[in-house]
Structure 1
Amino acid sequence: KKKAKITAEKLFNILDIPKDTWKKRVKKMSGGEKKRLSMAIGLIHHPQVLFLDEPTTGVDASKRYDILSYLKKLNQQLNTTMFIITHDLEAALICDKSAILREGKLLEFDTPENLINSLPSNGLVARISIKNLNQEIIKTIHKYPSIEKVLRVGNETIEVLMEDFEDNLPKLMKFLFENNLKVYSMSRDVANFRRYFQIRIQEEEEKENRKNNSELMNGGDSQ
């Protein structure tokens, strides 16, 4: 019993659970306190592996990063391997490796950094705001050679991924002006994991659409 108490206090300290809440009834705890308590319970017996299902669900946006930070701290201080199942893409910030699943199919498995670097030009993107942006304008931009992806990320804003980014960026801007597109801002950035995920899922959807269209053209699957 004494050993369990010492272990519990150690976990509570790592998780920043203040002493005045140690004897609080669970039903009176906040969402964040309940999440941290569930982590402590899961780790009380020093498991080598811990599975966490949606650990940030039901927590205020301002507390989500705190929960992820606690998980990383527990991983480092207790040497516990953690599997995090989540739709919260910010969790990739603390993971050594990330797997992307879609409808039970494994699409990718690697470090978040390697996945982002697999994008054209290691994930460099041009963020461009264009007046009266519409699908016709996006189709025009796609005509520029070396363009790999054009993602609409705002009402009048796109992110462009292309090969040989440094060489092609000034040429792309010239192309936009020559096509009378009214560009009112341009900045460069590196794609984050959320953007990588969006691109990868979009690719999978496009592949499925092509397959479905091909089957329709051929009269459906053969019996």
Structure 2
Amino acid sequence: MNPISKIIKIYNKIYNRWVLLRQKVSSKGELNIRGRIYIDNKGSIHFGNNVRINSGRNENIIGGGDRTNLIVLTNGLIQIGEGTGMSNVTLVAKKEIVIESKVMIGGSVKIYDNDFHSIHFSKRIKTPDLDINSAPVKVKEGAFIGAHSIILKGVTIGEFSVVGAGSVVTKSIPAGQVWAGNPARFIKNLEEPLLKTKNLF
């Protein structure tokens, strides 16, 4: 590592610590952030142990966005379980986004638990727009979300399931399945039994 890269790495580490402290983020153990993270927390953000985050164009070989963004609206929650890794993702929680342990989230994935604006024009043009649909999102243990996918409100992704790259997930996915497409649809069941997979941990 050249001297300039070392200086940037040290600066990023200091910057991230300041952001985590200022935004009142809690972490149960080690949190490894490469690059500089963006956080806007008006609710609660909790990290489990050994969470890994890439944030920046140079921190992921596929690029996939400028940085990792964690945005919690008033009284919302983002919770990320131990051993989870993500790259240049954007999570926006009005109610709740829960990501369980050992989840992999690919470059430029977006997870939204709300519609941001009302679907009704007469309410949408008002300021503020208060009639916004929202429903919790949950990504369960061991799931893998491929790069550039979008996970929408009210969705649960089952244990060890896989979402193909570039998918738009509008409804819940059972455990142990592969889904892909826009909108995402069932592709196949995973051959590896869930019980055997759980015994690996």
Q: Which has the larger radius of gyration?
A: 1
User: Does 1 or 2 have the higher relative contact order (CA < 8 Å, sep 6+)?
Assistant: 1
TM-score w.r.t. structure 1 length? 0.23
Identify the structure with the greater strand proportion: 2
